[in-house]
Structure 1
Amino acid sequence: MEKDTVVNIKIEKAETSKINEVDFSNLSFGSVFTDHMFICDFKNGSWQEPTIIPYQKLSMDPSAKVFHYGQAVFEGMKAYKDDQDEVWLFRPDENFHRINKSSARLAMPEFPEEYFFDGLNQLLKLDKQWIKKGFGNSLYIRPFVIATETGVSASPSTEYKFIIICSPAQAYYAGEVRVKIADHYSRSASGGFGFAKAAGNYAGQFYPTSLANKEGFQQVIWTDSNTHEYLEEAGTMNVFFRIGDKLITCPTSDRILDGVTRKSVIQVAKDLGIQVDIRPIKVVEIIEAAKNNQLKEIFGSGTAAVINPILGFGYKGDKWELPKLEDSYASTIKNTILGIQYNTIEDKYGWRVKVD
């Protein structure tokens, strides 16, 4: 990464590696972790000296405020290895700025830029062998912050831990995905913190998603909390609709996550000559487009899958299937983004960042 290394990071290497115990051809997403982790404590009003230590369990007091008041935010990133064994990140500045934006919304201290990038760089160098070559292989990176002050008074914590853990990943395949458009539950509300990658945002989705699962849907497309007339996100991803030859996605707001992949999809689509409309989208508009055979594609965008096509949707008991296209916008855009991530095509945007 093109960041000056100015931080003194204490490194304690693992005595032995777990890597030979891992079947890299049969990975369950987010269940296996590398040999090391980055950790930094916030105490007495400032971030302390960061360290990299062997991956290990945390010891925490039962009264730590994260357990009681939910001060916890996180990010999702990936590192990729090209055919020359060089390691790359994809738009890491966006993840750094967003985790601090999330932290600020939850009254948590922002993390120093040099700590973040130096720590990440050192961690990836230590665990480089965990990053496997080949399209689909990557290292999922999870930075997160939790409140650690003891005591159950309802107030912001004065102590925190910033941690980065890493998990080897294969190509993310969610299977055939059909979604239910929400008409009762909401992911977030105006004036809330739906735009933040806060742990509580995800916890609140699990119950309505489980109800949708019982109806045969894999995910929920969330609608606005005020009227349930406007479409917002798909599961844990930003969502795009193709009506005719036009690609439509809703604008970001204090309810909707400003996805890094979302931004990338919009830019790539425009450069491919696809008309992109960023505007509010009503449920009735999508249903009418489906009835008139003008709804060609729906897909979600996010770090894990890059783009996840949606095969059909349901709303208030009715169901629609989408056509199967050979040259879909989803596949064309996804292949372009993957080419940039894996260093197989030119990166004219400057999104690809080398890990030195």
Structure 2
Amino acid sequence: MNTAFVTQFIPVLLVVGQTLATGAPAANPETATTVQAALVDDNDDTPYKTLSFTNINLVRAQTSGGGLTVEGGSGNGVKVEMFIRGNNGNGSLSKDEIEERLKDYEVSIRQEGNTVVAIAKQRSSFGWNWKRGLSISFKFTTPRNMSTNISTSGGGIKMSHLTGKQRFETSGGGINLTDLKGDIEGNTSGGGIKLTECRDRVVVETSGGSIDASNSSGNLKMHTSGGGIRISNLNGIINVETSGGSITGDRIDGELKAGTSGGGIRIRDMAGSIDAETSAGSVEVNFTRVDKYVKLETSAGSVRVQMPMDKGMSLDLSGSRVSAPLSNFSGSAERDRIVGKTNGGGIPVVLSATAGSVSINQQ
């Protein structure tokens, strides 16, 4: 994700180590609208600073040591809350200690046109003492129709109840997405991803965790290099891939492409078309409806399918042992290979197991 926008916002609305008085004029009164500002001691529930803005349609944020939360669906304005904790094992700090440590950080919360920008980052890494580090998190409460461009290198990302274009990235935490609609794209290098009730276009990726997706629809693409994938009640064009785990799912309607190098694939209540492949496990699929194609392959396990066969199908089945009901069939049927047509042919069904058996509708 491109976070180069941070360098464009050098002017600072909140000056580190100083208190912003309520109603103080913004650096640029034409573009920065400050409704309120509060400074209180930090704890789990109370923000260190709170600012409110109006006429906003985009949230941009970057923090190097904390999480980011964007919660839509409330009111017309945007409220920004900044939370601060120590990252040296002592989460609760006094106000004086926080302000002393903040001298090592650049913190900026301001309005730039129709964009609210929040930044918290170290001024310099030279001679850095990690014991003086801070975890600086931001929470944005916004209208539902809001786009985002946010990133953190030290915490998780949580987004909910938003419509628009969402771009997000974290190097040190998980991602939790709830009730998002629009163009959604993000990734993490250090955590899992959970999404539910997301619609339209969703592209998410993690290098270090599992993915759990449910109750969502549209063009959905999910990739992980370090965990399993669980999908449930999805509708649309779905692409899931993992290099280090299994893929399980149920109540899938549409076109599913699934691939794994490190586990099995098991899908129940599949309605539509599927292309699934694994190098290290078995493939099991239970169909309630077959649409355009079925392609299932494994190099180190078996392929087992339950599906209605009342439509015309063109079969290409291969494995160490192959079994399938062959009513109204024309073609060749051998112990390890079946090639031919049922009911005059039609839907291509390709099932292949290099080192295992293949079966259709067998107990």
Same fold (TM over 0.5): no
The structure with the larger Rg is 2
Larger helix proportion, structure 1 or 2?
1
What range describes the TM-score normalised by the shorter chain of this pair?
A: under 0.3
Structure number with greater CO (CA < 8 Å, separation at least 6) is 1
